[in-house]
Amino acid sequence: MVPLVSKLYCSSTEVVYVVRKRPHVINGGGFVVTNCDQKVVFSVDGCGILGKAEELILRDERRDALLLIRGKGGIFEALSFNKIWNAYRYDFQGSKKLVFSLRKPKSCLPVDKDTGIRITTKPNLGKKDWDFEISGYFPGKECSIIDSQGNLVAQIGKNKKAGVLLSKDLYYVSIKPGIDQAFVVGVIAILDNIYGESTSC
């Protein structure tokens, strides 16, 4: 797979991270992603910190911004059958470059599966009109990111190693070799916001 954010975040082996929600009352919400040594690898700031709804920032371990994530609103959203999110990174000149778009179909009915949540990359790398999709149900922390060929890219779950049951504010993400970890965490940030979790107000 071609790195979407940076080859620095692509590992030759599978990695397992713990995602920990930050409380709104203490530091504005969002979440941090830690490795097995409990070192922060990524963090996500939501509207509790930024003060803007549907705007998120993915940061690296030094708190440098990697992705600016925005939901499309206004007239566009009102006329669309989908809710669209765009993730941008800044190039060396400071201009924004679209990395990926996530679209979730609008539905009047509650569903227990994330059917139809699809992700496209720019330029589009797949033969379909999407490159990745979400399978499962994010609020239950039982979901996967799958590529357009059906290969598992990342798995989100409550129980990953040694049957350890985590608290409601912690869950695991395992990311396959060669997959851009910053991209996966960016997708998790959008899902977190869509379902009104730690990054939303």
Q: How far apart are the first and last CA of the chain?
A: 35
What sign has the CA pseudo-torsion 28, 29, 33, 37?
Answer: positive
- C-alpha 87/C-alpha 128 separation (Å) is 20
SS3 of residue 194 by DSSP:
helix
Task: Judge contact between 69 and 189, C-beta under 8 A.
Answer: yes
Reported as a single tens digit per residue, the pLDDT across 148-181 is 899 999 999 986 554 455 677 899 999 999 999 9
What is the CATH topology of the domain spanning 14-194? Porin (2.40.160)
Q: Give burial (CB, 10 Å; 0-12/13-18/19+) of 145.
A: buried
The DSSP output letter for 18 is: E
The DSSP output letter for 8 is: G
pLDDT at res. 66: 93
Mean pLDDT in consecutive groups of 10 residues from the start of the chain, 201 residues: 85 94 76 93 87 86 92 58 84 78 71 72 64 92 92 87 62 95 96 88 76
What sign has the CA pseudo-torsion 55, 28, 167, 183?
Answer: positive
pTM of the model: 0.86
DSSP states along 129-191: S-SEEEEEEGGGTEEEEEETTS-EEEEEES--STTPPPPTTEEEEEE-TTSBHHHHHHHHHHH
pLDDT at res. 81: 61
